[in-house]
């Protein structure tokens, strides 16, 4: 199984630790992972701004980079969704189809492809899970509150296998955080307000560590947390899983 | 003004924004409770969606069937190509009746056609009889929501309006007392009016009858007391049979406000003896939308407003920030069809979270259409030239890995050495008004990988 790691552009530049955690986690799970150096971005910044024609070159670069791999894994539901959903404007060659079919968000890859549903280890913290919309409603990684009252999904399921970890019971389980790509600057007022409200829910319900499957949402909320000096630490879900796997093997306890 | 400008203004009142968000979220939760009680609700949505798809695909056939059956019932059917024709037809009917006062129940179509100012200009007194509509009519405001037109007003504000217009005691804000005052006031109007106008929720082709759904019974009271009933409908309101109606009555009120059914679901099929019934069938841009494959499905809308109640942006920006007849997510995909220039900011007033599509009782892919409208706006003259250029340059950088890597490194370095006051100056960087920028790391993942894995 040839697995490629896709580290989205802004993760590469600003959150390398998330890329490192993803790589190490996959390696610990027994995967041989390559990081093809030709990769840049999924093209979403231009496309969501209405300029998808400007992302065609980036789409082709993505396909060229990843066409030879069986699976493409990324710590971002949003980017995986974009490849699957919006690479439909370029010619659907076998390579394009293969790349679209085999691009996976990290947790989906772990649970659906690797069939690993138990991570174990310990992480003695109250963790607030932010369900990013593209992962949840786009890739169906979690139940949507519009469809069913049953909360649940792959990320919360896998986190709940970790000892000592308590998941925050949010008042609004899956409200958008307000990042929304260029929305965060073009609609700055609403975007910031949505982020403040989302974090208010976490603060009221005792979140110590905010996590999620999308760095973009976390970056936006971390920006507010640091501005407000709120007592919440932000970690991508790959960082938590990577730490707990370490804790079962080399480091026995206490993290952070 | 763009949506973002109006939304920014709305957000200057933090507490009122909280109140607005929570009021609408309360309705969304009511909707959830009502919907989850119906085990087959997702099947109902699918059925509703398919019935609408089918009807839109044979719209000419069903409209003509409706017309023929309505005429056989003694109803006068009028066709209006646009808002002006609609308004003129309504005015002519009123003039012919010799009356000068119209009582009107809720109709978003007449809002779209700007019927009220047109009739008033022509000497007709128009009384909106839906409570919320009457309140905003006093204030000369458009509705901020299609189901709850005055949802942006607090009861204290409504008390002020009634004090001024209905002579209620100053400071009175008890909802029950205010409603009673409105009831007494409207009763006089109902008793006096001889012409009543209603909207149409569904027009049944098989019977030639129309169906009007309200909670206040104001449509029925107006129509039953009048000699002339005018019903205004968009061409997309037709459904094939009464059997299909059953699907929509189960979907509509649950999605709208969490009720199993509206208090009144009234069928009007033929005029009572000695009275007239008119139906005005209006296009006003709908066939243009029907001709757009990517946006055709927006015509499936049954106007429940669920997408507004669930939309995190609508809840925190208010209906008026959309500056459109239909606000919220559905308005943001309908309005650009009518006036792309005026409404060019609306498709961007969304995070594309997709909640609107998931609550929609007829499964309109609203967030997908928002994305598609963005692609059209960017090619029109109503898109910022600097943003257009920036996206073009960004695209050129991101298709070239080496250049991307070099620029990324320079950008991180610059961010490291730029003083915080400059990098976070709100005037230059909207991100930083409420947020810190990420702390730039010394090396990118790619650089780390080069050192540690290769």
**Do the beta carbons of residue B221 and residue B190 sit within 8 Å?**
yes
The whole-angstrom distance between B51's CA and the closest CA on chain A is 21
A29-34: which pairs have CB atoms within 8 A and are 24 or more residues apart? A29/A110, A29/A114, A29/A116, A29/A245, A31/A1, A31/A3, A31/A114, A32/A1, A32/A2, A32/A3, A33/A3, A33/A4, A33/A5, A33/A73, A34/A2, A34/A3, A34/A4, A34/A5, A34/A69
- For the stretch B416-439, pLDDT in tens is 999 999 999 988 899 999 999 999
Mutate which: A190, A197, A221, A223, vs B, most B CBs within 10 A: A190
The reply to whether B340 touches chain A by the CB within 8 Å rule is no
Sheet containing strand B264-268, edge to edge, reads B238-239, B202-204, B209-214, B264-268
Query: In percent, how much of chain B has pLDDT > 70?
Result: 100
Chain B CB contacts of A193 below 8 Å: 11, 17, 316
Residue B382 has pLDDT above 90, yes or no: no
Chain B residue with minimum CA distance to A134: B353
SS3 B276: strand
Task: State which H helix or E strand residue A147 sits in.
Answer: none
Domain ranges for chain A, please list them: 3-113, 126-249
- Cβ contact, residue pair B435, A60, below 8 Å: no
Chain A CB contacts of B425 below 8 Å: none
Length of chain B: 454
The whole-angstrom distance between B266's CA and the closest CA on chain A is 29
What pLDDT is attached to residue B33?
98
Within chain A, residue ranges assigned H as helices are: 9-14, 16-28, 44-48, 56-66, 77-86, 94-101, 106-108, 133, 154-159, 183-186, 188-204, 215-228, 237-249
* Beta-bridge partners for B425: none
The reply to whether B25 touches chain A by the CB within 8 Å rule is yes
Chain B residue with minimum CA distance to A189: B8
- Cβ contact, residue pair A190, B355, below 8 Å: no
Nearest Cβ partner of A50 from B351, B374, B448? B374
* Token output for B397: 């950088």
- Cβ contact, residue pair B7, A185, below 8 Å: no
pLDDT profile of chain A (256 residues), mean per 10:
95 97 96 96 96 97 98 97 97 98 97 93 97 95 96 95 97 97 96 98 98 97 98 98 72 30
Chain A residue with minimum CA distance to B26: A172
The whole-angstrom distance between A115's CA and the closest CA on chain B is 26
Residues 376-395 (B) with a CB less than 8 A from some CB of A: 376-378, 383, 387-388, 391-392, 394-395
The reply to whether A9 touches chain B by the CB within 8 Å rule is yes
B454 band by pLDDT with thresholds 50, 70 and 90: low
B382 vs A219 pLDDT, higher one:
A219
Mean pLDDT of chain B: 96
* Token output for B115: 């019927």
The reply to whether B436 touches chain A by the CB within 8 Å rule is yes
User: Who contacts B438 (Cβ-Cβ below 8 Å, separation ≥6)?
Assistant: A14, A15, A219, A222, A223
Measured distance CA(B281)–CA(A19) in Å, rounded: 58
What pLDDT is attached to residue B427?
87
Put residue A232 in one of left, alpha, beta given phi > 0 → left and psi -120 to 50 → alpha: beta
Write the CA distances from A146 to A124, A252, B38, B354, integer angstroms.
32, 41, 13, 10
- Cβ contact, residue pair B8, A188, below 8 Å: yes
The reply to whether A43 touches chain B by the CB within 8 Å rule is yes
- Residue B151 is classified by DSSP as T
Measured distance CA(A116)–CA(A129) in Å, rounded: 20
Q: Fold for A126-249, please state it.
A: Rossmann fold (3.40.50)
- Cβ contact, residue pair B401, A222, below 8 Å: no
Domains, chain B, in order of start with CATH, read: 1-34+294-383 (1.10.1060), 38-140+186-284 (3.40.50.10420), 392-452 (no CATH)
Mutate which: B445, B446, B449, B451, vs A, most A CBs within 10 A: B445
Task: State which H helix or E strand residue B111 sits in.
Answer: helix B108-112
- Cβ contact, residue pair A183, B348, below 8 Å: yes
**Do the beta carbons of residue B27 and residue B258 sit within 8 Å?**
yes
The pLDDT of B382-406, averaged and rounded, is 93
- Cβ contact, residue pair B312, A175, below 8 Å: yes
The reply to whether B26 touches chain A by the CB within 8 Å rule is no
Nearest Cβ partner of B391 from A39, A49, A134? A49
Residues 271-330 (B) with a CB less than 8 A from some CB of A: 310, 312-313, 316-317
- Cβ contact, residue pair A226, B392, below 8 Å: no
The pLDDT of B19-39, averaged and rounded, is 98
The whole-angstrom distance between A218's CA and the closest CA on chain B is 10
The reply to whether A232 touches chain B by the CB within 8 Å rule is no
- For the stretch B121-168, pLDDT in tens is 999 999 999 999 999 999 999 999 999 999 999 999 999 999 999 999
* Phi then psi dihedrals of residue A81, to 5 deg: -60, -40
The reply to whether A176 touches chain B by the CB within 8 Å rule is yes
Write the CA distances from A138 to B308, B403, B448, integer angstroms.
20, 31, 31
**Do the beta carbons of residue A84 and residue A74 sit within 8 Å?**
no
B210 band by pLDDT with thresholds 50, 70 and 90: very high
- Cβ contact, residue pair B399, A185, below 8 Å: no
The reply to whether A145 touches chain B by the CB within 8 Å rule is yes
Sheet containing strand A166-167, edge to edge, reads A166-167, A126-130, A209-212, A233-234
What pLDDT is attached to residue B451?
95
Task: State which H helix or E strand residue B219 sits in.
Answer: helix B218-225
The reported pTM is 0.96
Residue B87 has pLDDT above 90, yes or no: yes
* Beta-bridge partners for A103: A72
């Amino acid at each position: 199984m040839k697995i490629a790691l896709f580290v989205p552009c802004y993760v590469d530049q600003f959150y390398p630790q998330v890329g490192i955690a993803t790589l190490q986690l996959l390696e610990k799970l027994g995967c041989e992972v390559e990081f093809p150096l030709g990769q840049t971005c999924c093209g979403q910044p231009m496309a969501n701004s209405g300029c998808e024609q400007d992302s065609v070159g980036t789409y082709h670069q993505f396909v060229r980079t990843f066409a030879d791999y069986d699976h493409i894994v990324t710590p971002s539901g949003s980017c995986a969704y974009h490849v699957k959903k919006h690479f439909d404007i370029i010619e659907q060659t076998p390579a394009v189809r293969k790349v679209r079919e085999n691009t996976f968000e990290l947790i989906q890859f772990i649970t659906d492809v690797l069939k690993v549903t138990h991570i174990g280890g310990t992480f003695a913290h109250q963790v607030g899970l932010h369900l990013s919309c593209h992962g949840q409603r786009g890739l169906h990684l979690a139940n949507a509150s519009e469809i069913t009252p049953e909360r649940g999904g792959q990320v919360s399921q896998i986190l709940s296998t970790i000892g000592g970890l308590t998941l925050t019971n949010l008042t609004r389980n899956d409200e958008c955080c307000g990042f929304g790509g260029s929305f965060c600057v073009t609609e700055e007022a609403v975007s910031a307000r949505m982020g403040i409200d989302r974090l208010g829910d976490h603060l009221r319900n005792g979140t110590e560590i905010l996590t999620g499957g999308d760095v973009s949402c976390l970056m936006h909320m971390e920006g507010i947390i640091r501005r407000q000096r709120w007592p919440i630490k932000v970690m991508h879900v790959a960082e938590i899983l990577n730490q707990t796997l370490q804790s079962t093997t080399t480091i026995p306890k206490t993290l952070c | 003004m763009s949506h973002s400008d109006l939304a920014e203004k709305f957000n200057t009142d933090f507490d009122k924004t909280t109140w607005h968000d929570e009021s609408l979220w309360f309705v969304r939760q009511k909707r959830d409770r009502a919907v989850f009680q119906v085990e087959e609700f997702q099947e109902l949505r699918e059925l509703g969606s398919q019935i609408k798809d089918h009807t839109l695909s044979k719209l000419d056939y069903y409209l003509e069937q409706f017309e023929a059956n309505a005429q056989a019932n003694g109803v006068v059917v009028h066709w209006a190509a646009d808002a002006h024709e609609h308004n003129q037809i309504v005015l002519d009917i009123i003039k012919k009746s010799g009356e000068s006062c119209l009582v009107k129940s809720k109709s978003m179509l007449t809002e779209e056609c700007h019927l009220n100012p047109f009739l008033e200009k022509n000497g007709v007194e128009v009384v909106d009889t839906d409570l919320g509509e009457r309140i905003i009519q006093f204030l000369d405001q458009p509705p901020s929501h299609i189901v709850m037109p005055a949802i942006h007003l607090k009861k204290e504000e409504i008390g002020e309006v009634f004090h001024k217009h209905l002579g209620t005691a100053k400071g009175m804000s008890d909802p029950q007392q205010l409603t009673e005052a409105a009831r007494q006031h409207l009763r006089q109007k109902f008793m006096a009016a001889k012409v009543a106008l209603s909207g149409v929720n569904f027009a049944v082709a098989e019977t030639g009858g129309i169906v009007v759904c309200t909670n206040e019974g104001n449509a029925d009271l107006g129509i039953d007391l009048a000699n002339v009933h005018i019903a205004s409908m968009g061409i997309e309101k037709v459904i094939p049979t009464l059997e299909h109606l059953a699907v929509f009555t189960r979907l509509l009120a649950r999605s709208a406000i969490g009720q199993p059914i509206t208090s009144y679901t009234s069928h009007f099929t033929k005029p009572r003896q000695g009275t007239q019934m008119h139906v005005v069938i209006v296009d006003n841009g709908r066939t243009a939308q029907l001709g757009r494959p990517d946006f055709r499905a927006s015509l499936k809308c049954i106007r429940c407003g669920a997408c507004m109640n669930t939309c995190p942006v609508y809840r925190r920006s208010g209906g008026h920030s959309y500056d459109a007849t239909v606000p919220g997510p559905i308005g943001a995909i309908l309005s650009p069809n009518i006036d792309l220039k005026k409404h060019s900011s609306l498709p961007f007033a969304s995070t594309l979270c997709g909640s609107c599509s998931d609550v929609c009782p007829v499964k309109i892919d609203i967030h997908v259409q928002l994305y598609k409208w963005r692609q059209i706006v960017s090619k029109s003259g109503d898109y910022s030239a600097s943003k257009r250029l920036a996206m073009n340059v960004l695209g050129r950088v991101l298709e070239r890995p080496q250049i991307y890597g070099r620029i990324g490194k320079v950008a991180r370095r610059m961010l490291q050495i730029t003083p915080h006051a400059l990098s976070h100056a709100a005037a230059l960087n909207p991100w930083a008004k409420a947020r810190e920028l990420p702390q730039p790391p010394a090396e990118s993942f790619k650089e780390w990988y080069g050192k540690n894995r290769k």
